[in-house]
């Protein structure tokens, strides 16, 4: 048995599917909402680094690690603590700042963020 749909419903479904496909194509081709950011530790200490959304990782002395992050609005903090829990680096970054820094966050040996 074949269902007969009213032509209006069929056209409405086609329009909705077409709009969804167009929106997806524009989104997929127009922007990549994520980037890989390199975190570099220039200190002589192992650091516990909290990045952007509160996720933490250990960063060995003079090492670097890469993480993919999703694009965000406003500012997000990066904080690094030594083994004693002392904050040795703390800075907030906008998406534009990260882009301007080449998607790299460097924790210098003196603990001050580079300008």
pLDDT confidence bin for 4, thresholds 50/70/90: low
Structure tokens at 110: 């003196």
- The residue with tokens 């007969």 is 4
Give the model confidence (pLDDT) of 89-112 as tens digits: 999 999 999 999 999 999 999 855
Structure tokens at 8: 């209006």
User: Which has the closest alpha carbon to 72: 48, 95, 43?
Assistant: 95
Give the model confidence (pLDDT) of 22-52 as tens digits: 666 555 545 668 999 999 999 999 999 999 8
- pLDDT at residue number 115: 40
Query: What is the helix (H) or strand (E) element at residue 69, kind and residue range?
Result: strand 64-70
Query: Dihedral through CA 24, CA 29, CA 33, CA 36, nearest 10?
Result: 140
Give the model confidence (pLDDT) of 68-95 as tens digits: 999 999 999 999 999 999 999 999 999 9
């Amino acid at each position: 048995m074949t269902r007969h749909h009213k032509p209006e419903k069929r056209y409405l479904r086609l329009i909705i599917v077409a709009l969804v496909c167009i929106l997806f194509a524009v989104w997929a081709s127009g922007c990549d909402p994520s980037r890989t950011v390199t975190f570099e530790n220039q200190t002589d200490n192992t650091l516990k680094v909290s990045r952007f959304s509160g996720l933490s990782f250990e960063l060995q002395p003079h090492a670097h690690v890469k993480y993919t992050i999703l694009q965000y609005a406003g500012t997000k903090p990066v904080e690094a603590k030594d083994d004693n829990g002392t904050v040795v680096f703390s800075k907030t970054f906008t998406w534009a700042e990260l882009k301007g820094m080449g998607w790299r966050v460097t924790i210098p040996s003196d603990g001050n963020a580079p300008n």
